[in-house]
A and B are shown apart, each in its own frame.
Chain A
Amino acid sequence: MDASAPSPAQTSRALSLTLAWRFAAFQTARLPLVPISIILLFALAAIFADVIAPHDAQVGSLSARFRPPAWVQGGSSEFLFGTDHLGRDVLSRLIYGARVSMVVGFTAVIVAGVLGTTLGILSGYLGGWVDQLIMRVTDTWLALPALTFAIFLAAVVGPSEMNIVIILAAVYWTRYARVIRGEVLSLKERDFVRLAIVAGCSKRTIMRKQILPNVVNSAIVLATLMLGVVIVTEASLSFLGVGVPPPKPAWGLMLADGKKGLMAGYWWLTVLPGACIMLLVLAANLLGDWLRVKFDPQLRQL
């Protein structure tokens, strides 16, 4: 084996092939501008929400209920995307909702990543009972569907923004742990690790200085791919009413409210938040695929 790039995690070959294939349709050799700009757009909306949102996202006027978007008859430029059942401006709620999704999404992904990578390294490198213990827990938690587990935890500890982040991290760290552990197992056999052992480095040093830098790439790729999943789960939780609690606007919550008006034909309350979720998740997935192909040179031939 050549000593240049670290060998990729042995997630099943099928997964590798499908990820690269999925991306290849949109491939450019340079930066994938579309996904990045979409994510940037939402990020900026999230950061500058206080400045750009035209109205208050949490308080509405009952006289302005169910106004359609500006480009439909009956709409006005005052409420560009219309209003909901409480007269709240949809556009403002979408913008603040972006903040919730981005903050919760990114934080959860990072916390899960740190936790999962650490445990994955410990498990893979130390082996023995540590490995067995961590792997058994990982396997069991992986068997439980993320959404169900998250709902359960939300019911137990009660929803709040902070809690949701912790819950999502607790549910998703297992994904990292499994993949990173696999990589560590193969890294362990590589010469540069063996040299370090022979040179007398402590286990902790090896894990920190040799193993960690080599798995960081995979962790980052995984994190980007997880972002989409986490955002969907967060939206699902909000939809069911156990997500970030009202009156903070979350896209999932908007969808739940929107459902009430659906039969009456108030389509914008469903389509617009839905489109936001879809765009952001799509962008995250595309970016993740692109990173995967970039960091895994063997796949580029596909």
Chain B
Amino acid sequence: MKRFIIRRLGYAALSLILLSFTIFFFVRVTGDPTVLLLEPGASRADMEALRQQLGLDRPVLVQYWTFLSQIVRGDFGQSFYYRTPVLELYFSRLPSSLALAVVAMTFSLVIGIPSGILAAVRLNGWWDSAGKVFALLGLSVPSFLVGLLLILFFSVYLGWLPSSGSGTVWHVLMPAFALGWYFAAAHMRLTRSSMLEVLGSEYVKLARLKGLPEALVIGKHAFKNALIPVLTLAGINLVLMVNVAVIVETVFAWPGVGRLLFEGISFRDFPVVQATVLIGGAMIVVVNLLVDLLYAVIDPRIRYGR
């Protein structure tokens, strides 16, 4: 067990390093750092100062080391636009995004899990066919399109819901639905196939052989087992949602980190862009790690297996 934890931690650390290096590489080597990391309209003197500060003449690895030590200390630079440290800015916006993601995740699970179960239990029935269509739409209709259509319908035509901003329950409904849309389909597909696999298992067969009522077979024996992979995915997807919400947050002017990213690109505020991507990516690596470790704790077969 210990070996597993250590190995997994090692992988995560390696991923974080690779991630930071990737970001660093693209900024310093592929892009032009003097343009990116300086405010628009900077003077030659500023450029020189930056060169000194970042050590742009030094070898790449040395630069990376400086970069890494800054990151670890929490120094992600300062936003040109807001004139505050980026890290502070990011964390001030994070709660909004998390709130949105939680509501969106709730939608996606409430819609996805029951329909997945129904589709599996009534295989090839009406519900299954409807599910197939939903799954296809979930993948094919981008979230921002869903958002725009929702606005058109509920804000413009019906006037029921506000089209932007945040603050009340009404504000969160449409963005959460748009954000959760794709994931609802994904969760339904996974629930369905997980359920199918469980329904074909030997212990479900035995449950039936025992003469248990079908409701008990599905509700007790199949359900819990089928849910495990879905919930695992949901955990990982939550963090993913925070990251990919940039589009939905932009459409609905939701004040989260996604919108922060959008502001960063609109205003050419590069430190913000760099930090958002880096922190977002790091969060995903960390959550993946936590989920893996948690899984190992819950399911002892994994611990001893690998």
Contacts and interface: CB of A to CB of B under 8 A. Distances in A.
Interface string B161-200: 0010000000000000000000000000110111011000
Contact of B265 (A137, A232, A240, A270): A240
Given A22-B132, A282-B140, A277 B251 contact: no
A187 interface: no
Interface residues of A: mostly helix, strand, loop or mixed? helix
Interface string B113-154: 000000000000000010011011101111011001101100
A149 interface: yes
Which of the listed residues A144, A267, A274 has the most CB atoms from chain B within 10 Å of its own CB?
A144
A14 B120 CA distance: 13
A278 B261 CA distance: 26
Contacts of A152: 23, 26, 273-274, 277
A17 B148 contact: no
Contact of A157 (B31, B152, B196, B197): B31
A29 interface: no
Contacts of A151: 246, 261, 265, 273, 277
A37 interface: no
Contacts of A271: 149, 152
A5 to B, nearest CB: 22
Given A143-B285, A151-B265, A262-B156, A25 B129 contact: yes
A154 B36 CA distance: 12
Which of the listed residues A13, A149, A152 has the most CB atoms from chain B within 10 Å of its own CB?
A152
B85 interface: no
B22 to A, nearest CB: 7
Interface stretch (B12-20, B41-49, B210-218): B12-20
Contacts of B276: 148
A144 B145 contact: no
Contact of B135 (A18, A153, A157, A278): A18
A169 to B, nearest CB: 14
B103 interface: no
Contacts of B285: 140, 143
A13 B23 contact: no
A139 interface: yes
Given A155-B264, A236-B247, A281 B140 contact: yes
A152 B26 CA distance: 9
Given A140-B15, A242-B265, A282-B140, A145 B247 contact: no
Which of the listed residues B26, B135, B152 has the most CB atoms from chain A within 10 Å of its own CB?
B152
A48 to B, nearest CB: 25
B27 interface: yes
Contact of A228 (B19, B132, B140): B140
Which of the listed residues A22, A157, A258, A267 has the most CB atoms from chain B within 10 Å of its own CB?
A22
Contact of A18 (B192, B265, B280): B192
Closest 3 CB pairs of A and B: A156-B31, A25-B132, A14-B193
24 contacts: A13-B193, A13-B197, A21-B193, A25-B132, A143-B15, A143-B19, A143-B281, A143-B285, A144-B19, A145-B244, A148-B246, A148-B276, A153-B26, A155-B273, A157-B30, A240-B262, A262-B163, A263-B163, A274-B145, A278-B140, A281-B140, A281-B141, A281-B142, A285-B140
